[in-house]
């Protein structure tokens, strides 16, 4: 499949400062620390990892909501890593975000219709009549009655608010959607509806998703391929079926062992180390049940073990 977006050795560190007025840099949080992968046209890449592993920063950096420190982001052969402000409008049309908390991602003072229309106005898309038609069309597309256009976000349920968030993201006809935990704030019964909606829209509109979640069931349901992130790095990446059937990295094995129906649960010892001062060698070594001498000394590389099944571990 043709890659839509290619990420190479991407890094994003957040400075740690001390003091209020003349604050000094006291180190950095290595939120994204040398990440490479691609997403094909029409593909959903699920990105999973514990809270604080850097997955949201990675999504925001790809969208250029945060400035990368190094590495590259290439979209359909265009290098957008250091895109200038004047070209940002173009990039915002190609790539959009669906946020975790639908309530806070919508302006409470704007009607639902105005919220969706705002994206069209920013991108000079059509006159008022055309925009109104487009807003109605988008509401129908995401499963909402156009009558809700005059309502305010607080008058809607969480599921309806997230549908509005999706309609806003779709308004400018993007090709790539970064969905950051889009169902985790919703009731379980509504989660399935939103996941189905996203899956249907992908097929209908030929979208590609970077789908960020901590819930493995959600990732398993929606993804074509899955990337596992630990302390700022992708430690395993494979086709969904392959990854759930034959996980290779000890961290992935532990994560998957917690799924219902699995016999031998692997309980990891210790806390996730700080991304300010990650462990030497393999970052997972202090918690890894299969570590050996080399693990503490030498950092493993992400290697293609078999037909697109990548793993970062000295065991392979
Ligand atoms: Fe465990 Fe060593 Fe593999 Fe790291 S490199 S995951 S410590 S076995």
- Ligand 1 atom closest to the Cα of residue 292 is 2
Residue at 41 is within a domain: yes
Closest Cα to atom 6 of ligand 1 = 313
Residue at 54 is within a domain: yes
Q: Which residues contact 298 (CB under 8 A, 6 or more apart)?
A: 281, 282, 314
Residue at 229 is within a domain: no
Residue at 139 is within a domain: yes
For the chain, the three-class secondary structure string (H helix, E strand, C coil) is CCEEEEEEEEEEEEEEEECCCCCEEEEEEEEEEEEEEEEECCCEEEEECCCCCCHHHHHHHHCCCCCCCEEEEEECCEECCCCCHHHHHHHHHHEEEECCCHHHHCCCCCCHHHHHHHHHHHCCCCCHHHHHHHHHHHHHHCCCCHHHHHCCHHHCCHHHHHHHHHHHHHCCCCCEEEEECCCCCCCHHHHHHHHHHHHHHHHHHCCEEEEEECCHHHHHHHCCEEEEEECCEEEEEEEHHHHHHCCCCHHHHHHHHCCCCCCCCCCCCCCCCCCCCCCCCCCCHHHCCCCCHHHHHCCCCCEEEECCEEECCCCC
Q: Is residue 230 lining ligand 1, measured as CB closer than 6 Å?
A: no
Residue at 43 is within a domain: yes
- Number of domains present in the structure of the chain: 1
Residue at 314 is within a domain: no
Q: Ligand 1: which of 288, 296, 311 to mutate, judged by most atoms within 8 Å of the beta carbon?
A: 288
Q: Is residue 300 lining ligand 1, measured as CB closer than 6 Å?
A: yes
CA distances (Å), origin 190, targets 81, 194, 198: 36, 6, 13
Residue at 279 is within a domain: no
Q: Is residue 233 lining ligand 1, measured as CB closer than 6 Å?
A: no
Q: What is the CATH number of the domain that holds 145?
A: 3.40.50.300
Could you read off the pLDDT tens digit of each residue along the chain, which spans 316 residues? 779 999 999 999 999 877 666 667 778 999 999 999 999 999 999 999 998 899 999 999 999 999 999 999 999 999 999 998 888 999 999 999 999 988 888 999 999 999 999 999 999 999 999 999 999 999 999 999 999 999 999 999 999 999 999 999 999 999 999 999 999 989 988 999 999 999 999 999 999 999 999 999 999 999 999 999 999 999 999 999 999 999 999 999 999 998 888 888 998 988 889 999 999 999 999 999 999 999 999 999 999 999 999 999 999 9
User: According to the model, what pLDDT value does residue 20 have?
Assistant: 62
The CA distance from 87 to 92, in Å, is: 9
> Which range of residues forms the domain containing residue 194?
3-223
- Distance between Cα 290 and ligand 1 center (Å): 6
Q: Is residue 295 lining ligand 1, measured as CB closer than 6 Å?
A: yes
What does pTM read for this prediction? 0.94
Closest Cα to atom 7 of ligand 1 = 285
Closest Cα to atom 8 of ligand 1 = 291
- Distance between Cα 124 and ligand 1 center (Å): 52
Residue at 119 is within a domain: yes
The CA distance from 141 to 162, in Å, is: 13
């Amino acid at each position: 499949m043709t890659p839509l977006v290619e990420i190479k050795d991407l890094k994003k560190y957040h400075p740690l400062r001390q003091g209020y007025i003349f604050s000094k840099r006291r180190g950095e949080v290595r939120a994204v620390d040398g990440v490479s992968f691609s997403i094909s046209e029409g593909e959903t890449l699920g990105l999973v990892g514990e809270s604080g592993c850097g997955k949201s920063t990675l999504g925001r950096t790809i969208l250029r909501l945060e400035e990368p420190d190094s590495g590259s982001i290439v979209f359909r052969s265009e290098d957008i890593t250091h895109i200038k402000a004047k070209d940002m409008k173009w990039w915002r049309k190609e790539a959009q975000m669906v946020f975790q908390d639908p309530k806070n991602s919508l302006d409470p003072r704007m009607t639902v219709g105005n919220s969706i229309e705002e994206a069209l106005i920013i991108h000079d898309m059509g006159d008022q009549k055309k925009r109104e038609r487009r807003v109605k069309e988008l509401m129908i597309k995401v499963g909402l009655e156009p009558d809700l256009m005059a309502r305010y976000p607080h008058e809607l349920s969480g599921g309806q608010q997230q549908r509005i968030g999706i309609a806003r993201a779709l308004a400018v006809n993007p090709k790539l959607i970064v969905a950051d935990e889009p169902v985790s704030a919703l009731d379980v019964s509504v989660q399935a509806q939103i996941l189905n909606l996203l899956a249907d829209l992908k097929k209908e509109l030929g979208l590609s998703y970077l789908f960020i979640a901590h819930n493995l069931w959600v990732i398993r349901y929606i993804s074509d391929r899955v990337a596992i992130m630990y302390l700022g790095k992708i430690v395993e990446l494979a086709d969904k079926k392959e990854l759930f059937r034959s996980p290779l990295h000890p961290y992935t094995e532990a994560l998957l062992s917690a799924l219902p129906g699995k016999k031998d649960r692997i309980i990891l010892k210790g806390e996730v180390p700080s991304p300010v001062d990650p462990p030497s060698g393999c970052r997972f070594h202090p918690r890894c049940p299969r570590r050996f001498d080399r693990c503490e000394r030498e950092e493993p590389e992400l290697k293609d073990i078999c037909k697109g099944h990548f793993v970062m571990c000295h065991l392979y």
